[in-house]
Structure 1
Amino acid sequence: MEHSHAANRPDEFRDRRLSEAEAQNTFEVVFDNEAVHRRKSSLAPGTGTGPQRPRHMRKPTNCFVHSLFEPHRDATAIQATHSPPPDSDYAIAATPSYEGLKSDKVTDKNPDAGLYHNGDDVIQEEKGTGASAVAVTGGVEPAVQSRLLTKKQISDMAFGIRELAKKLAHIRIKMNVRNVFILAKAHDETLIGKTREVAEWLLQQDVNYRIYVENTLQENKIFDYKGLVEGNESYKHRLRFWTVELCQQRPQTWDIVLALGGDGTVLYASWLFQHVVPPVLAFSLGSLGFLTKFDYGSFPQVLTKAFNEGITVSLRLRFEATVMRSQKREKCGGTAPRDLVEELIGEESEDCHTHFPDGTYNILNEVVLDRGPNPTMSSIEIFGDDEHYTSVQADGICIATPTGSTAYNLAAGGSLCHPDNPVILLTAICAHTLSFRPIVLPDTIVLRAGVPYDARTSSWASFDGRERVELKPGDYVTVSASRFPFPSVLPVERRGKDWIDSISRTLNWNSRQRQKAFKEWEKEEK
């Protein structure tokens, strides 16, 4: 009787817990003893980040996929603020938290969620919810970078994203598409014409889509903006232009991204959307097609089917890479030679940080550290969490995502890796020792690669082939799983074998002439 009485009161208890949780806008988290060597320099927030806005100033997320994250995060927040005894009738199983926390006070997320349901393998977006995107933090500013998380928090975050990715791979998501982002290489005349073709087709549909194209096309003669909107007043209001700043500040504006080009165009989409990323539907118009899944020639049929029947999304792991600069020690009074290994494994004093963050990037393919224009090899120290892995002398190293396993990683001798694998691929580029074989690491660690203080020359780091920066002796880069995965739209009819088809088609993987069968001699009849 006691259990049945408790079963009749879960809604009442849940409402009471929600109200109590909402009354507390902030909470404090203290790192446990598992992180005794936690880097105080690494705990410094990167440029442009800080505490989030109070709950009453924030808007609920407009992301229909992101709403799947919300119940997990809110359950954890509620449990942290008001947890019943484990043996209580109301005890709730712990749910992984996907939001990073640091030792400063940060505000919790808005718990408005639960607007979407899963039925008949279709998630139907509620009308009027607005933009769609996939991210752990929705349409609000990120408060914490993943390098700041404890081992358990990174594991919980990675596990939660993997679980969601498994679910999304077997369902169709029906979207209420209104805002469409078109991405193409603005310097390619052929692609400019195709951008106009897609935009014109969308404008002619019965649905009043708002189409965004790159702002440089407004005065482009091939795109012919004036000729496109001439004679139809509504086209002027529905055909709009995006800028890099708009992508960075309001990524939740768009429901879907249409990429016209090759894999480089898809990588550019990842670069534009450094936090929240709308689902990316890529049409193949380039050289290779690992990430471009659809044929441009049938774009009207593809878009009609996607908007009316729904899409299947594959969440691709991205890395968060932060450049950490060495800080002068004048104020600390130190005169002894500095050792990068000792600084990254040892403990810092409270008032003397050895490094400070200088730029954070979310990347889809790889982080590369190389010798740059220097004639000598790079010297690189590699760390995982609080352990020194090895010292490398090579032309450089490649730290790749599973998606990037077919790019620079493969050319450097690394292994092919299915994009669903939760791993970090570490490959040396022309190592001085022949024993440095490529290794595969879990995505739950924070990897650090730095230039030792006694290195002969500096090294250079690039992120998805962009934003090349110099790493001077004492500087290092942290690499960890990003809280913002990249949602790639897959063809529903061949989603299960898509990756194998890609490597077979583009790399001729294991392609050879079949071995002939033995020809048996005919036995003589006696």
Structure 2
Amino acid sequence: MDSPKGNANIHAEGDRPGLEFDDRRDSTSSDRGDALEVVFEGDAGRRRRSSIVRGPSRTTIRPNHKRETTQCFVHTLLEKYEGVPAREFNASYEGLAQEKRIDKDPHAHAEQAQYSRLLTKKQISDMAFGIRELSKKLSHIRLKLHVKNVFILSKAYDETLITHSREATEWLLSKEDGYRVYVENTLENNKIFDAAGLLEKNPSFKGRLRFWDNKLCAERPQTFDIVLALGGDGTVLYASWLFQRIVPPVLAFSLGSLGFLTKFDYSCHQDTLTRVFGDGITVSLRLRFEATVMRSQTRTDGPRDLVEELIGEESEDHHTHRPDGTHNILNEVVVDRGPNPTMSSIELFGDDEHFTTVQADGICVSTPTGSTAYNLAAGGSLCHPDNPVILVTAICAHTLNFRPIILPDTIVLRAGVPYDARTSSWASFDGRERVELKPGDYVTISASRFPFPSVLPLDRRSKDWVDSISRTLQWNSRQRQKEFKEWKQ
């Protein structure tokens, strides 16, 4: 699905990564106030002193520099990263090869660069570098937001979570007259949530208790200042699925089983929210992947070879395949055998190179965030979420020597079903949107321009990930070796 030009959080602009600015806000957020405060933490005090950043506007931070627009208000707080201009050199063969677009483009969208898979190698590298630079800046500052519109997300079929959703909603609406709280539209007539009883209890809630649906999340994500996720890691993944492009900062309360992504204790939610709205937040940007299903076009010109069509003589023919849906994912893309009783045969490509043919139950391509999920269960490595990598792990490979591999996040991977495969395969994206891949179809996987902003606790953000794996996986947990006591005569 195409997005309007300028909706990207981070985009490649010439040879340099850039941040985009916008003053287009939903009417419900037009009264957010005049200023947002940025507080630098720790050694960040040596940075450029700038404590007050004006709210969304068209103010030019650096004169005479053309800027496009974005809907992401987090990025309006930060200045554009200016890359060092490269010297002029004669283009080498390798340099020209890097400028090739590395996927099929039958609709000629490449000039608009709407999808990461259509960017050149250098543009993807600049984009990924820009996201990492932005993440470093965000980790050293506290964003004091003027919150008006709060989005509450939980499982609408879980009785306990519905009760917690009502509790949080009532507290927020009672806290301040300016808050508007959005809950899922399925709760409007839910007996446990009892929206009518809530409005009858306090008539001032009328007009401030609102309901969201999938369409509102897709079309107007800038409406919401912050997302409160009540549940487990699956609820956080649901937030990523709802907000496929621009994602508001997500503050996740732990009400699930494990809690890699849920950083806050719900029993203290009132104190937590009071501190967040008063003192501000620190945001960690989690890399997401962009995955596009590419369908083989019907042809009648004899036998076909997927390797030839993707990296061989037919690679320049953009009409061998067409795109059929794009997904931004936080954990992993899985291509597996699905309901078939036999193993899958999968061709794996990286940029313009054929890596290998995988014969296995499937293959898991994971983000660093997803390294502790399906990737770990399949035998892959643990990976810190700040690492700029893609993790590839086979699922029950039919060889003894297929080891997990870690690749740079500047590569565009393609996992496809060869034309001579015995059966089709199935692809899923963060466990959702499961689709069949018939012989000749493939999936492209590349770094997304739309990272996932996760709110971190202010008091333990630097060691948060190690705490998570120690707490949830009992990482390296064993009884300490006893002291050796030497016997003396």
- Taking structure 1 as the reference length, what is the TM-score of the superposition? 0.76
1:407 pairs, out of 333, 358, 373, with 373
Q: Which amino acid aligns with 2:350?
A: G
Determine the C-alpha separation between the residues in 1 that align with 2:340 and 2:193.
Answer: 44
Matched, 1:210 2:131: no
Q: Is the 8 A contact 2:296 2:440 kept in 1?
A: yes
Deviation at 1:120, TM superposition (A): 3.8
Return closer, same or farther for 1:521/1:361 CA change in 2, 3 Å cut-off: same
Residue of structure 2 equivalent to 1:288: 258
Residue 420 of structure 2 corresponds to which residue in structure 1?
A: 454
Once residues 252 and 405 of structure 1 are traced to their aligned partners in structure 2, the CA distance between those partners, rounded to angstroms, is: 29
Q: How does 1:46-445 map to 2 (within 5 A)?
A: 48-49=1-2, 52=5, 95-97=16-18, 120-121=40-41, 126=54, 144-330=114-300, 334-335=301-302, 337-348=303-314, 353-445=319-411
SS of the aligned residue for 1:167 comes to helix
Give the 3 Å change call, closer, same or farther, for CA 131–228 of structure 1 in structure 2: farther
Answer yes or no: is the 8 Å Cα contact 1:405–1:415 preserved in 2. Answer: yes
Amino acid at match of 1:257: V
Alpha-carbon deviations, 1:193-218, whole Å to 9, x = none?
Answer: 11000000001113410000000111
Does the aligned pair in 2 maintain the 1:134–1:485 contact within 8 Å? no
The Cα offsets for residues 353-395 of structure 1, whole Å up to 9 and x where unpaired, read as 1000000000000000110111111000000000000001000
Q: CA deviation at 1:326?
A: 0.3
Are 2:366 and 2:375, in contact at CA under 8 Å, matched by a contact in 1? Answer: yes
**Number of the residue aligned with 1:506:** 472
* Partners of 2:426 and 2:437 within 8 A in 1: yes
Distance 1:118 1:181, change over 3 A: closer
SS in 2 for 1:480: strand
Q: Supply the RMSD in Å over aligned alpha carbons.
A: 2.6
Structure 2 CA distance for aligned equivalents of residues 306 and 403 of structure 1: 24
Letter in 2 for 1:96: P
In 1, the alpha carbon distance for the partners of 2:141 and 2:462 equals: 12
* Counterpart amino acid of residue 283 in structure 2: V
**Partners in 2 of 1:189 and 1:259 — Cα distance?**
16
Amino acid corresponding to residue 413 of structure 1 in structure 2 = G
**Deviation at residue 234 of structure 1 after TM alignment:** 2.9
Instruction: Give the match's secondary structure for 1:96.
Output: strand
Q: Give the fraction of aligned pairs with identical amino acids, expressed as a percent.
A: 72
Task: Tell me the secondary structure at the aligned position of residue 420 of structure 1.
Answer: coil
Q: Is the 8 A contact 1:98 1:153 kept in 2?
A: no
Measured against aligned partners, the alpha-carbon deviations of 1:315-351 in whole angstroms (never above 9, x if no partner) come to: 0010000000000124xxx22x100011100244877
Task: Name the SS for the 1:195 alignment partner.
Answer: helix
Q: CA–CA distance in 1 between the matches of 2:132 and 2:321?
A: 32
Q: What letter corresponds to residue 264 of structure 1 in structure 2?
A: G
Moved more, 233-242 or 151-160: 233-242
Instruction: Report the counterpart of residue 95 of structure 2 in structure 1.
Output: none
Contact 1:424 1:441 in 2 (8 A): yes
Q: Distance in 2 between matches of 1:266 and 1:183?
A: 9
CA distance in 2, matches of 1:442, 1:384: 10
Select the structure of larger CA radius of gyration: 1
Cα 1:353/1:131, change in 2 over 3 Å:
closer
Report the Cα distance in structure 2 between the residues aligned to 1:51 and 1:259, rounded to whole angstroms: 28
Per-residue CA deviations over 1:295-328 (Å, capped at 9, x if unaligned) read 0011111001101110010000100000000001
Aligned match of 1:37: none
The residue type paired with residue 247 of structure 1 is C
State the SS of the aligned residue for 1:237. coil
Contact 2:244 2:328 in 1 (8 A): yes
| 1:52 Cα deviation after fit | 3.0
Corresponding residue to 1:465 among 431, 442, 447: 431
Q: Distance in 2 between matches of 1:262 and 1:352?
A: 42
For 2:414 and 2:140, locate their aligned partners in 1 and report how far apart those are by CA, in whole Å: 35
Give the Å deviation of 1:110.
6.1
Mapped to 1, the partners of 2:148 and 2:316 lie a distance apart of: 51
* Length-normalised TM-score, structure 2: 0.82
Cross-structure match for 1:105: none
1:487 pairs with 2:453? yes
SS in 2 for 1:441: strand
Q: Write the deviation string for residues 265-292 of structure 1: whole angstroms up to 9, x where unpaired.
A: 0000000000000000000011111000
- How many residues were matched structurally? 425
Structure 1 residue runs of 5 or longer lacking an equivalent are 1-47, 54-60, 81-93, 100-108
Matched-pair contact (CA < 8 Å) for 2:38–2:143: no
Deviations 1:402-432 (A, max 9, x none): 0000000000000000000010000000101
SS of 1:357's partner is strand
SS of alignment partner, residue 270 of structure 1: helix
